């Protein structure tokens, strides 16, 4: 293969690559062997520690209820954040400067603050100012924190989605005499929704990952928290971490694959404009890029 860094390998380069491969395999094998020895020394490979995961009790009592809570919080957060994000995103493109500025301030503010701070604050707010029961409070706090952060990220996705549409769409709408609101609701938004669908789905990965924060800091009974109860019962800390990590990896991999499939489908589709915001476009948005300079180094079309 040719890349910008090197040409297709000739005979000498091929020989060199084989040597590199061998050295790398040896290093990797050494590393794996070391991990194996350490695990073995500490007795972490005992079958009795892994056995609970082959039986249904560990799953039905701990892992599946935990996973369901994770999914519930993530789903709720996404459903609530989506309309909020749409409003904020559209407000950021308003023709009125004060609407634009205030929406922009809200978006940049919540993207600049760690989501944990939002959760901690929401938790205390619910404890003091509302009569949400103590059992429900962690869930409320986690969802609130996630909604505040993700609404502002989604606002940026919505904005990027609308800006990614060909300019002719707006111009044609204006030419046939549609008002601003009509242009947005009947021409731009319906198309933008398909454009940004993959990016929205990808955002779910971030939300799922952030729910774990609530499990440790607020006692929300999601997957990572359920792991603690499980490990306390079976005394298998390392094993439970590995299993939970695998669950997260599989879950997030499924979400990402679905998003990529959607993106590929949208790009091929003849009925759409062929623009799509994919998983790669979203990385920039999540990191709270405060300067408002997006897509550095890659085009968003």
Partner 1 sequence: MFDFISDYNDPTLLGAFWMTVKLTVFSGIASLVGGTLLAAMRVSPVPLMRGFGTAYVNIVRNIPLTVIIVFTSLGLADIFGMTMGAPDDFALQGFRLAVLGLSAYTAAFVCEALRSGINTVPVGQAEAARAIGLNFSQVLGLIVLPQAFRAVIGPLANVLIALTKNTTVAAAIGVAEAALLMKEMIENEAQTLLIGAVFAFGFVVLTLPTGLFLGWLSKRLAVKR
69 belongs to the binding site for partner 1 (CB under 8 A): no
- Return the number of the residue (54 or 296) whose C-beta is nearest partner 1: 296
Stretch that binds partner 1, among 87-95, 172-180, 181-189, 242-250 (CB under 8 A): 242-250
What's the rounded Cα separation, in Å, for the pair 93 and 209?
Answer: 30
Q: Which of 15, 20, 46, 182 touches partner 1 by CB under 8 A?
A: 20
Q: Which of 24, 33, 36, 261 touches partner 1 by CB under 8 A?
A: 24
- Return the number of the residue (103 or 142) whose C-beta is nearest partner 1: 142
Q: Which of 210, 221, 230, 277 touches partner 1 by CB under 8 A?
A: 210
Question: Quick one: which of 107, 144, 149 has its CA closest to 125?
Answer: 144
What's the rounded Cα separation, in Å, for the pair 186 and 149?
Answer: 28
- Return the number of the residue (140 or 248) whose C-beta is nearest partner 1: 248
One symbol per residue from 134 to 173: x for binding partner 1 (CB under 8 A), - otherwise; what is it? ----------------------------------------
120 belongs to the binding site for partner 1 (CB under 8 A): yes
Q: How far is the CB of 10 from partner 1 (least distance, A)?
A: 11
Sign, CA dihedral 14-19-25-31, equals: negative
What's the rounded Cα separation, in Å, for the pair 247 and 231?
Answer: 16
244 belongs to the binding site for partner 1 (CB under 8 A): yes
105 belongs to the binding site for partner 1 (CB under 8 A): no
Helix (H), strand (E), coil (C) string for 125-159: HHHHHCCCCCCCHHHHHHHHHHHHHHHHHHHHHHH
Token readout for 241 is 């971490």
What's the rounded Cα separation, in Å, for the pair 232 and 227?
Answer: 8
What's the rounded Cα separation, in Å, for the pair 248 and 226?
Answer: 13
What is the phi/psi pair of residue 291, to 5°? -70, -15
What is the phi/psi pair of residue 216, to 5°? -85, -45
- Return the number of the residue (160 or 173) whose C-beta is nearest partner 1: 160
* Residues that bind partner 1 in the complex, under the rule CB under 8 A: 1-7, 9, 13, 17, 20-21, 24-25, 28, 38, 42, 44, 108-109, 112-117, 120-121, 124-125, 128, 205, 208-213, 215-217, 224, 237-238, 241, 244-245, 248-249, 252-253, 256, 280, 283-284, 286-293, 296-298
């Amino acid at each position: 293969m040719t890349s910008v860094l090197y040409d297709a390998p000739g005979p000498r380069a091929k020989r060199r690559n084989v040597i590199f491969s061998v050295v790398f395999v040896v290093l990797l094998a050494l590393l794996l062997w070391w991990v194996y020895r350490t695990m073995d020394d500490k007795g972490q490979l005992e079958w009795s520690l892994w056995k609970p995961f082959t039986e249904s009790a560990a799953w039905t009592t701990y892992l599946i209820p935990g996973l369901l809570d994770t999914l519930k919080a993530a789903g709720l957060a996404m459903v609530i954040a989506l309309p909020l994000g749409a409003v904020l995103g559209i407000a950021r493109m308003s023709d009125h400067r004060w609407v634009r500025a205030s929406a922009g301030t809200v978006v940049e503010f919540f993207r600049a603050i760690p989501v944990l701070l939002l959760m901690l604050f929401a938790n205390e707010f619910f404890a003091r100012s509302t009569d949400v029961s103590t059992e429900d409070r962690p869930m409320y706090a986690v969802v609130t924190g996630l909604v505040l952060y993700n609404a502002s990220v989604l606002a940026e996705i919505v904005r990027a989605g609308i800006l990614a549409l060909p300019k002719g769409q707006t111009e044609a709408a204006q030419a046939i005499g549609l008002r601003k609101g009509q242009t947005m609701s009947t021409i731009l938004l319906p198309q933008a929704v398909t454009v940004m669908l993959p990016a929205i789905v990808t955002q779910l990965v971030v939300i799922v990952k952030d729910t774990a924060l609530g499990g440790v800091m607020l006692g929300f009974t999601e997957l990572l928290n359920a792991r603690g109860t499980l490990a306390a019962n079976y005394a298998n800390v390392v094993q439970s971490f590995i299993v939970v990590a695998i669950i997260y990896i599989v879950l997030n991999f499924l979400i990402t694959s679905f998003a990529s499939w959607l993106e590929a489908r949208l790009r091929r589709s003849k009925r759409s404009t062929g623009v799509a915001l994919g998983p790669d476009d979203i990385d920039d948005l999540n990191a709270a890029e405060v300067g408002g300079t997006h897509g550095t180094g890659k085009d968003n079309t």
